Amino acid sequence: MPVFRASCVSCHGSEEPSGELDLTTFEGLMKGGITGPVVEPGDADDSLLMRRMLSDDEGPIMPLGFPAIAAAKLDKIAAWINAGAKKGGDSGVHWAYVPPLRPATPEVKNAAWPANPIDNFILAKLENNDLTPKPRADRAKLLRRLSLDLTGLPPTIAELDAFESDDAKGAWSRAIERLLASPHFGERQALDWLDLARYADSNGYRHDHARSIWAFRDYVIQSLNDDMPFDQFTIEQIAGDLLPDPTRDQLVASGFHRNTMHNTEGGVDPDEARWLTNVDRVATTGLVWMATTLGCAQCHDHKFEPISHEEFFKLYAYFDDVDEVNIDLSSEDQIIQRKRLDKEIKAAQTAGKGLTKDSPEQKASAALIKQLQNERKKQVGPTSLGFRERKYKGAPKAQIREKGSYLSPGEEVEAGIPEFLHDMPDGAPENRLGLAQWLVADDNPLVARVVVNRIWEQYFGRGIVASAGDFGTQAEPPSHPGLLDWLAVELMDSGWSLKHIHRLITSSATYQQSSQTSREDRELDPDLGLYSRGPRHRLGAEVIRDAALFSGGILNLKIGGPSVKPKQPPGLWDAPNDSARWVNTTSDERLRRGLYVYRKRTSMYPSFTAFDATSREECTTHRYRTNTPLQAMVLLNDPVYIEAARALGHRMTARMGTDRDRIAYGFRLCTSRRPTGTEVDILEKHLASQLLKRSEIGAKNGDLGETPKEAAWTMLGSALLNLDETITKE
């Protein structure tokens, strides 16, 4: 029972429970302790359990040493006892472990404001807290907000002009549909999923060697663009290799759990390393799909959630009986050519066996064989990482590791699911495919809630449940539980369409509010938990870089393919006993989106680190936003931002009109709005001061430009790229 596990089992759940009262099981609860039964079915007032939690007449109020149990939970426990205290009844079951039901849409006083049911849930709570929603943001800010949220790119000036002049009904809906259909939608949404999947281009640990798994990234992008139903998206990534006649994409998808770190250091026990990898796979599955800290049960029964140590290893067993394989991504033509060349090489080798050593004929034969082998190498395509299930009878098995130590093997258990949740679907196989089907079953209380909460957080900066990776008993409860359940049911009823949820949220009046607010409203809603205004927060690391290159007009919008290495100073990867070096990509591939920048776990791309991107050594359910002086240094000095500033300067000077017109054009490219006259005055003075300074330095200004004028406009471009508005969504 979650309420007891959260607050009581540290004393009443050990091998020697205090007072001989074991609250880890229903049977233990009903048996009672040394003083006898603690529950009188049908009579909460006469139950010792309730008296000890409500009064100190018979000793200290329980739970001793923990915060008092909330009144609402006590009321639920009392109601359960009064109803007969039956097993499986509502004994304070944690909200997240009860399947969601679609709640009624709340009635509101301001019935004209809601654009869809989302707004009724938000407005009802605002009205209860004496708050009113903010007016709709102006069109330029709205389109910029929407473009950044759906594609990770700011709108073009042509798109801004078209939207601002579109007075026909449905302009906002048309903008939403255009951006949902953009091929760049999948790229923006993939950023968050790759954090969850711990995607990287290297193995991690000290010998952080390169790996080839970029095809998995491409799979995620394409699946999100295609609006693959989330249940299918889940099944393919957990068990794509187990589907009937799996496609190449489904085999690649199974690489979700190959994104774990891989230890290749000398002296490492390969069996223990594999064990640690599988432990990570169990914990990550819990965080990504269930927002449940399964990893806490690796060493002992979970202290707060109804997950036992044994159940952790039952889940572990699903991942223990697989082979890790490389997936050949060669084209059909490459495969045919390889087979042809293999035959020709074999024939040439056979013919060369009888030739005299060092004779002209032998040398010609050797040269032919080498030529054929070189041609064959050219017919070898890329690879990716995936799984292949081993053949076995019955359910997979694994040994429990006492206290979570690999060196302490214990009892063997069969693969299985936690008992406190729903049953395995009928006919589900006893393997990872069955586990995946269980996760996305309609009666799973967690997955749909977790998914919609994560999408909500992307838009507003915080989820309906603030802790995106923890829906457990110790987490802050949802700010709008009815809305969370309504969205979860809506996701399932839509056929698990993620774009449907994106469409609903962006269509809502809640999303379209202005971010401007008053001091009084900030005091009533300081952390935007009531959503009394529009979102305003700094962009993510990759999006800041993309927006800068996009504003300069030099972003390479190619989708998919291997990772690239943008220009960085020498020595980025210098490390003892490591021969790998960062070699700058010199083609325009270096200007591709941040999504495609090479990620080495032990040496992250510096500008991404400064803006709070993670190394992806483990699953990341939430990126924190910090403010440090290093961020300003990156925007001023990183080679990519200098190149973007120079391109922006060229773009402004190529514009017809006066310098003031050019400045206003550059300002709008970066912020999506027209500057005020005062703002143009300030920037014009800055341009003049830079021109004077660069003229004094001399004609050559290095990366800033070939002439003082070019350098001055580059510095103006740098100032625009450093504006708070440029790196902020509001």
Task: For residues 308 and 424, state if they share a domain.
Answer: yes
Q: Is residue 44 within 8 Å of residue 84, measured between CB atoms? A: no
Residue 613 Cα distances to 194, 409, 450, 542, angstroms: 11, 37, 22, 8
Q: Give the residue ranges of DSSP H helices in 472-628.
A: 481-493, 498-507, 519-524, 541-551, 606-610
Q: Are residues 259 and 371 in the same domain?
A: no
Q: Whose structure tokens read 């066996």? A: 353
Using 70 as the pLDDT threshold, list the residues of the chain that sit under it: 1-2, 5-6, 14, 87-92, 392-393, 577, 698-702
Q: Which residue(s) pair with 389 in the sheet?
A: 322
Residue 238 lies in a domain: yes
Q: Note whether 317 and 423 are same-domain residues.
A: yes
8 A C-beta contact, residue 255 and residue 213: yes
Give pLDDT, residue 91. Answer: 52
Residue 501: CB partners within 8 Å, gap ≥ 6?
Answer: 451, 452, 455, 487, 490, 491, 494
245 shares its domain with 144: no
Q: Kindly state whether residues 348 and 397 are assigned to the same domain.
A: no
Helix/strand/coil percent split, the chain, to 5: 50, 5, 45
Check whether residue 301 and residue 440 sit in a common domain.
yes
Q: Is the dihedral of CA 695, 698, 702, 708 positive or negative?
A: positive
What distance in Å separates the CA atoms of residue 62 and residue 56, rounded to the nearest whole number? 8
Please check whether residue 206 lies inside any domain of the structure: no
Q: How many domains does the chain have?
A: 5
Domain-embedded: residue 345: yes
Closest CA to 82 of 48, 53, 39: 39
DSSP 402: G
Q: What residue numbers bound the domain in which 150 lies? A: 139-182
User: Is 577 domain-assigned?
Assistant: no
CB-CB contact of 179 with 147 (8 Å): yes
Report yes or no: 185 and 222 within 8 Å, Cβ to Cβ.
no
320 and 434 both lie in a single domain: yes
pTM for the structure as a whole? 0.88
Distance CA 618, CA 293 (A): 13
**Are both 723 and 642 inside the same structural domain?**
yes
Environment class of residue 584 by beta-carbon count within 10 Å: exposed (0-12), middle (13-18) or buried (19+)?
Answer: middle
Closest CA to 259 of 725, 553, 620: 620
Q: Please indicate, yes or no, if residue 622 is contained in any of the structural domains.
A: no
Taking the C-alpha atoms of residue 548 and residue 577, their distance in angstroms, rounded to an integer, is 36
Q: Within a domain: residue 131?
A: no
Question: Within this chain, do residues 349 and 306 fall inside the same structural domain, yes or no?
Answer: no
Asked if the structure places residue 78 within a domain, the reply is: yes
Assigned domain for 678 exists: yes
Domain termination residue (choose one: 93, 119, 150): 93
pLDDT of residue 473: 87
Q: Which has the closest alpha carbon to 122: 530, 523, 454?
A: 530
Does 364 lie in the same domain as 318?
no
Q: What is the pLDDT of residue 14?
A: 63
**Cα–Cα distance, 724 to 220 (Å, whole number):** 31
Asked if 643 and 699 sit in the same domain, the reply is yes
Question: Which pLDDT does position 648 carry in this prediction?
Answer: 98
> Same domain, yes or no, for 432 and 375?
no
Work out whether the CA dihedral 404, 408, 414, 419 comes out positive or negative.
negative
